[in-house]
Amino acid sequence: MSITYLEAIREAQAKLLRDDERVFIYGQDVGGTFGGAFKATKGLAKEFPGRVLNTPISEDAMVGTAIGAAMHGMRPIVEMQFADFSSTALNQILNNAGTHYWRTDVPIPITVRLPSGGTKGSGPFHSQSMESIYAHYPGLIVMTPATVEDAYTMLIEAVAIDDPVIYCEHKYLYYHLKAEKLPTEGLPTGKARIAREGRDLTIATYSAMLHEALAVAEQLASEGFEIEVVDLRSVKPLDTNTVLASVARTGRLLCVGESFPWGSATAEIIARVTAEGFHLLDAAPQRMNAKDTPIPYHPNLWSVHRPNAKEIARKARALLRE
């Protein structure tokens, strides 16, 4: 038996609904027989009557309603059809959910699931990676699971956290990742994982880019280089200590993310490592992000718009030569 990243998300929600009567799922077409745009809630409406609820096509209203429910003791999970659409709910997420605890001492335990990242032919409005925007604002936790195991355990932990959690699930990983079984426990939120050990260069990354980085590490191993790959798991909180410890071993740092470059999580990592670990670096730290344009439809353009293994390898080789 194997389970996909997408199935792990569904199973996590089933467990949450089973274990905690405060949990409900709220989103467009998540209920009924449709089960959500990607089927992440398939069958849950029937299994848990009255707790998997369809919403109007208004992301703003969805999050606003969830905030109200959370204030009154519920643990809502809001499903956005695509991360890109959450921009129409920014006011509720950033200005209401994100500020509420600081203003009132009343936390807002909502989880907003964002189907994130690009796939071929999805274009500018169905491909975005918005983790850096949400990490920029105070009051939010931003998770970026890259494995089936993390997809499962981190979603369960997201709902348990008393604060708003932005859960960025990568659409490319939905069907491409499989695991033999679901874990019973995972690393705590805010703790990065060494996905591959090495001594020549650290690649710090998250979400789908982890798998591009691991492919590069495998490729460069055949050229005699040992690449250490750090899976950040969440970009807020950001486990700077694990990155610094890795850079202490390798002396070189390449940060890779799929979001747009300005103000990205990769920029934050480099700022922190430069400020706190400048003495550890043997070369200027580098980063790679998507290009600073909207995300193209055409597969030829899309494939070079975001970082890919070929370009990451090119950048890594240049950094190793310095």
Q: Which amino acid is at 314?
A: R
Contact yes or no for 286/255 (Cβ under 8 A): yes
CA 298 to chain CA centroid, nearest Å = 24
Count of residues interacting with other proteins (CB under 8 A):
19
Determine which residue in the list 33, 50, 180, 185 makes contact with other proteins, applying CB under 8 A. 33
Contact yes or no for 141/234 (Cβ under 8 A): yes
Rounded to the nearest whole angstrom, what is the least distance from the CB of residue 27 to other proteins in the complex? 16
Q: How far apart are CA 311 and CA 316, in angstroms?
A: 8
Measured from the CB atom, is 252 or 306 closer to other proteins? 306
Measured from the CB atom, is 18 or 298 closer to other proteins? 298
Determine which residue in the list 99, 161, 294, 317 makes contact with other proteins, applying CB under 8 A. 294
Residue 32 CB coordination number (10 Å): 11
Nearest to 230, CA basis, from 251, 201, 262: 201
Stretch that binds other proteins, among 168-176, 191-199, 221-229, 289-297 (CB under 8 A): 289-297
Measured from the CB atom, is 176 or 291 closer to other proteins? 291
Stretch that binds other proteins, among 82-90, 101-109, 135-143, 295-303 (CB under 8 A): 295-303
303 touching other proteins, by CB under 8 A: yes
* DSSP string for 181-224: S--S--PPTT--EEEE--SSEEEEE-TTHHHHHHHHHHHHHTTT
100 annotated active-site: no
Determine which residue in the list 18, 21, 47, 56 makes contact with other proteins, applying CB under 8 A. 56
126 touching other proteins, by CB under 8 A: no
Q: How far apart are CA 128 and CA 290, in angstroms?
A: 10
2 touching other proteins, by CB under 8 A: no
Stretch that binds other proteins, among 31-39, 105-113, 146-154, 250-258 (CB under 8 A): 31-39
Stretch that binds other proteins, among 43-51, 134-142, 225-233, 298-306 (CB under 8 A): 298-306
Give the sheet arrangement for strand 141-143, strand by strand: 52-54, 23-27, 75-79, 111-116, 165-170, 141-143, 234-236
- Is the four-CA dihedral 9, 14, 17, 18 of positive or negative sign? negative
What residues are labeled active site?
126
Chain residues that interact with other proteins, rule: CB under 8 A: 32-34, 56, 61, 261-262, 289, 291-294, 296, 298, 300-301, 303-305
